[in-house]
Structure 1
């Protein structure tokens, strides 16, 4: 008798538990019949059951017989989804980041490993990690991928701009890697980002040199940054965390989105309350060096210690223009959504009318993509069967 089950324990919120789901630590397991004894009266049996966590072996021996170990790889994650409340922080993280800050973090879905390659999934604006349930279940149900990769979901409040959130996330990932304690993990990762999360993924995997800094300030950081301002430098100048990256950009607005300039975008921008932790970074900096250090193009965005994520996503933002030209360290793939049913086009002139309703083809078409596909999507390609299979096929070959 072998029965697949899910077991759960509380999250202690200490040690490596900090990087596991807060709802609880869930694992797939199997209950196996390990022994049957008949009592002397021969009228009753003593049955010994064993919970098996070790799935490195496919079979176990009971008596003189071999039995296949049965398990449900995605059952623990499905149980987690039923308990999860992280989706309650989608809107809150957009309009009031300070109130959602307590849920910021990286959460390993299939456990932490010191050998498996991280797959980091990053949600977009007004969103949460539950958007990745389709892709996550597909990965968990593929034994070869489970053996090779560990899945890390990211949650961050999406009201502040992606450049700030990426700086915070870089620190979170470096801390996690340090705590795991194997330098080999720094060599390779897959990063998957949807919409604005794609921009965060870009900022995790790109070496900026001075391009973003020079688009923002008139003087180089070595002349103006003090020990108290290191976060300012970290937002604009950084290196990739991992040596080799495989990046998937889903519905990502590299050139911004017209929606950010629309009435809806203006209302959204008005509703956003930026946290003091963010605005004080630039207030302290400008109080010390003065606002004249800003370039003319960046002055409207930072003079009031902003901007919000919506401001950054408006077409023509100087940092977005600078980032667009920078290649990632590794290979990139662009998944572009179309809500019109058109899934093929001529890039010379036939693609300009393709859009997912939020991001058009020209904006989502990453300049340095090794390969790009168009999928049916209303800005939700994270649940497209075609997009998921495309991602899985690439991961299988890495």
Structure 2
């Protein structure tokens, strides 16, 4: 231990970078050895961490990219780099960043980290393209928490820089648990994301977010942990779920029981079309992850939706029966004319069953009974701007043209001219939306409501969704707070989602 401290003092006094790094390395090696056998383990671990961090800080200033296993000069000092238990989704040469350097602004400063042995880092690599599950990884790349430490050279060998998954790698018991930062990886990845900008353009008909539509995993798939599937609202993106996701990763009970999945979708399409699309994204994810269909993770899924995403979550939890079909058409499904592909799309849009495996849903500021904002002047303007190029609408238009008598009169013109979009289908009086209010989560699905009620707002609500539109009967819990429509940013809302998930983890459903 004394020898390690001496090396650290020498390093602090040296102005030559490489010479200082040699001393930081010597300190890290000696502190590691001391921590394994010394009674003063805590101080030895702290010193090993400090010296390793100095060495890495210098090395990462030179280059964060191109980290591979094998011999490498780290801060000018030759070492053997070894990866242990890191994610199989981290491929090729890694880019490394110190977790402490990653801003927590996306979480309003909340960092979930635990200090043990080693230095928390973030490892990043481009996503793979050699298997179906690669499509479930973010386009920006794969970002994972790793931890680094130095082990002494053995014999004539080189000192070893270990880069490891803190959840899977092990160290001698005397060193205790590994350090880990559970917040930095997503925060670093979010910096590179264009999803917020693309979400707005997607509402207006832009194609880029449509090309990225699907389910995305923010951590390696675990066949035993239940997915929490988060669905954003109009003109938005999964980045709204940063604080909620961070809270789940930071809670040991939730981390053991759940995995976070984010849905990306283009928000200009009508509500029922969006529901169908999200179902297809989930189906594609399960085909890639569990083609046999027998993973425990398929059971006990939790849907969390904000705004229109909350309505989509409700419809994914429900059985349509004939009510939507009867509100739109005057003939039974088997009497539809037209191309088989068009008939299939229309049936799947208006006739559906609950998504298998969902047993809980959380609705945030969801306009279950429509939104007067869609009927107001801004809603009318947006309705003219929001894209109407959904291919499903073209199928409806072809049907209405080929068989006009099959479509109810009040909807025929909008179907013929493809005049439906996400704004139009949130209008209070929209016929199909109106009957869709009756579609509640099937028996056995526990659902929860979180709504905003701004002081002085008339009618009561969050400024976009009236309170009586967001509330649902028979909810397992209801939380109403003084907040606007973007209440997912509020700590009490994040805490409520955590409370509900903890209850689900304890009860097993």
Q: TM-score, normalised by structure 1?
A: 0.90
Please identify which structure carries the higher strand content.
Answer: 1
Whether contact under 8 Å (1:325, 1:367) holds in the other structure is no
Measure the CA separation in 1 of the matches of 2:468 and 2:364.
13
SS in 2 for 1:107: strand
Deviates more, 1:293-302 or 1:78-87: 293-302
Once the two structures are superposed, the pairs formed by residues 339-350 of structure 1 within 5 Å of their partners are 339-340=454-455
Query: Over residues 172-191 of structure 1, what are the superposed CA-to-partner deviations in whole Å (9 max), with x where a residue is unaligned?
Result: 10121122114333322110
Q: Does 1:149 align with 2:265?
A: no
Show the counterpart of 1:16: 133
Match among 226, 230, 241 for residue 355 of structure 2:
241
Q: Does 1:379 align with 2:474?
A: no
Show the counterpart of 1:292: 405
Higher relative contact order (CA 8 A, sep 6+): 1
Deviates more, 1:241-250 or 1:358-367: 241-250
Query: Over residues 270-305 of structure 1, what are the superposed CA-to-partner deviations in whole Å (9 max), with x where a residue is unaligned?
Result: 1122115233121232243x1221224433542422
Whether contact under 8 Å (2:398, 2:416) holds in the other structure is no
Show the counterpart of 2:370: 256
Match among 214, 217, 223 for residue 105 of structure 1:
214
Show the counterpart of 2:123: 7
Whether contact under 8 Å (2:203, 2:234) holds in the other structure is yes
Q: Offset at 1:133?
A: 0.8
Q: Offset at 1:37?
A: 4.3
Whether contact under 8 Å (2:315, 2:439) holds in the other structure is no
Which of the two has higher C-alpha Rg? Answer: 2
Measure the CA separation in 2 of the matches of 1:356 and 1:74.
30
Alpha-carbon distance change, 188 to 297 in structure 1, aligned in 2, over 3 angstroms: farther
Match among 450, 461, 479 for residue 335 of structure 1:
450
Whether contact under 8 Å (1:189, 1:245) holds in the other structure is yes
Q: Offset at 1:222?
A: 2.4
Q: Offset at 1:306?
A: 3.3
Show the counterpart of 2:334: 222
Match among 411, 415, 418 for residue 305 of structure 1:
418
Measure the CA separation in 2 of the matches of 1:60 and 1:144.
23
> Which stretches in structure 1 are left out of the alignment for 5+ residues?
40-44, 343-351
Measure the CA separation in 1 of the matches of 2:312 and 2:399.
24
Q: TM-score, normalised by structure 2?
A: 0.71
Measure the CA separation in 2 of the matches of 1:138 and 1:341.
31
Query: Over residues 92-143 of structure 1, what are the superposed CA-to-partner deviations in whole Å (9 max), with x where a residue is unaligned?
Result: 1111144532121111112222221111111111111111111111111112
Runs of 4+ with >6 A deviation: none
Q: Does 1:281 align with 2:392?
A: no
Once the two structures are superposed, the pairs formed by residues 153-192 of structure 1 within 5 Å of their partners are 153-181=262-290, 182-183=293-294, 184-192=296-304
SS in 2 for 1:68: coil
Deviates more, 1:223-232 or 1:22-31: 223-232
Q: Does 1:130 align with 2:239?
A: yes
SS in 2 for 1:247: strand
Measure the CA separation in 2 of the matches of 1:301 and 1:13.
41
- Say what the alpha-carbon RMSD is for the aligned residues: 2.1
Q: Offset at 1:318?
A: 1.9
Q: Does 1:270 align with 2:384?
A: yes
Measure the CA separation in 1 of the matches of 2:303 and 2:386.
27
Q: Does 1:25 align with 2:134?
A: no
> Which stretches in structure 2 are left out of the alignment for 5+ residues?
1-47, 49-117, 505-509
